[in-house]
Structure 1
Amino acid sequence: MDESGARGAARAADGGSPARASNPLVDPVPGEPAAVARLDGEAALVVADYHAGIEDALRYERGVELDSNAAVRRVRLLGLLDRVDPDRLVVLGDLGHRIGGPEGSEAEELDALVDAILDRVPLTLVRGNHDGGVGERFASTDPARFVITDSCGVRLGQVGFVHGHTWPSREVVESDVICIGHEHPAVRLEDSVGGGRKERAWLRGPLRPEPFADHLGVAVEDLEWRDPELVVFPAFNDRSGGTWVNVEGQGFLAPFLPGALVAEATEAYLLDGTRLGPYRSV
């Protein structure tokens, strides 16, 4: 990315948004389920849970008939790439939707999407639980342009990335910021007369080292613990449902949540940057 592109990424990520937390390495793009991560020497646009082909799954899993939104999703993502002008795109898992591997209209959507992305920037896919078969489908793609990580994630610069359906690797745990998807966090908001609506949300807050040390089988003092900030990304796909983090009975999906969270210091933000405060009290 040239100098003008770097300035564009910084402007797109900042915008005076109150969603910018204490760590500037990962800044949400105002109004979008996406963020800019500042890695060593480059900027990455980061999104989570694209779920290409979800309409097919809604049809055969739930009997819900919806026209495909594939073109709209692709235009939205490519528009963000043009707006932010990053050096790469990082997808925090679930680029596709079929757990057993893409086929049919999902495969067609993925083919068109990946081709369009790689015409602009390299792509790093942090493998999620819905990404089975994606690696095989794109096995002939230039590995320098399309990288698929292990499910335990990857650290790029000072930022760790993991989808969230598995425990992160030690290198991810020993990052300054840990970004995850998988949860599709959302909040239920109610007005004074009892009307309610669901809004996609960000969660940001500190982590406790003990659960990770226990899982890794090491002493806490042996971790290179940097007091990382956890950033839980909203789903890019607005048809993929979500966990209402402020509704009783709704639980987290990641094996390290909520145990590793400092819950009282973990705050929710709307996509427009509105700070809602601690997620449990929204």
Structure 2
Amino acid sequence: MQLKFVTGEPAILSGKTLVIADLHIGIEHRYKKKGIKVPSQSGKLLERIEKLLNKTKAKRLIIIGDIKHKVPGTSFQEEREIPLFFQRLLEKTEVEVTPGNHDDRIKNLLPEKVILHPSTGFMLGKIWLCHGHAWPKKEFLDAEHIVIGHNHASIEFSDKLGYRWIDPVWVRAEIDRKKLPKQYKGFSDSPPELILVPPFNEFAGLIPMNKRAREIRRYFIEGPSPIFRISKKKTARIYMLDGTFLGKLGKM
């Protein structure tokens, strides 16, 4: 199955399967604690997903973490909204989940019909799907692509007057075979292409990838994704959601 980006949306379509990442249901609670009033986004997220399912004619939805936001633990909002959210989705399509770092105890919130994969990911055709916060199983090396979320990838634009704006982006990068940990050695001479999926929830926050190294040192060296750390970031190709190719990360 080939994959393609859904134009204008942070979603991938592979055959009849729609893939999205980073819902962060319940993130509004964090904003509320900071004095920012953001109404629940669950209804809007659900509406967007339903429209995408209709538009793409997908028969299956895969969410590669993070379903919820609070970690550790679960907020009352998450306990109330997540089961209903997925029950509504199940009325429309098959649903599968691979958990992210925010998804502790997510099994307790999901209806039984939701298929829950391990956090290390799984294979869909020739595509390995996982959230990206943990190292994947060695079987990912048999894939043509590894698709992850977690990084909240974006590019920051600015002008001489100081105006700045940030847009979510797709990232396509090569994995540096020489930097693969020992447990992966000898399994493949040609690692899969790495694809970073932008967050589906617009309130989940974005991390500009083109800031100066000293400003974003932790992002590139310490995290957030171990598999992204060993990618060839300078030659990573950056695309806007409408498909516009912005160039290679090393030249931004």
Mark yes or no: TM-score above 0.5: yes
Counterpart of 1:240 in structure 2 is 204
Q: Quick one: which of 57, 82, 101 aligns to 1:110?
A: 82
Q: How many residues are paired up?
A: 245
Counterpart of 1:30 in structure 2 is 7
Counterpart of 1:20 in structure 2 is none
SS in 1 for 2:227: coil
Q: Quick one: which of 243, 261, 266 aligns to 2:231?
A: 261
Q: What does 1:1-282 correspond to in 2, within 5 Å?
A: 25-38=2-15, 43-60=16-33, 62-138=34-110, 141-142=112-113, 146-191=114-159, 193-214=161-182, 216=183, 218-219=184-185, 222-248=186-212, 249-250=215-216, 251=219, 252-258=223-229, 260-282=230-252
Structure 1: unaligned runs, 5 residues or longer: 1-23
* In 1: Cα distance, 2:37 partner to 2:5 partner: 32
TM-score by length of 1: 0.81
SS in 2 for 1:130: coil
Deviation at residue 192 of structure 1 after TM alignment: 5.1
Residues 47-85 of structure 1, C-alpha deviation per residue, up to 9 Å, x if partnerless?
01011111012223x343222222111111111111112
Structure 1: 4+ residue segments shifted above 4 A: none
Deviation at residue 213 of structure 1 after TM alignment: 4.3
Matched residues, percent identical? 27
Structure 2: unaligned runs, 5 residues or longer: none
Q: Is the 8 A contact 1:25 1:177 kept in 2?
A: no
Deviation at residue 226 of structure 1 after TM alignment: 4.0
Paired AA for residue 195 in structure 2: V
Counterpart of 1:6 in structure 2 is none
CA RMSD of aligned residues (A): 1.8
Q: Is the 8 A contact 1:186 1:245 kept in 2?
A: yes
Residues 151-182 of structure 1, C-alpha deviation per residue, up to 9 Å, x if partnerless?
11111111001111111111123211000000
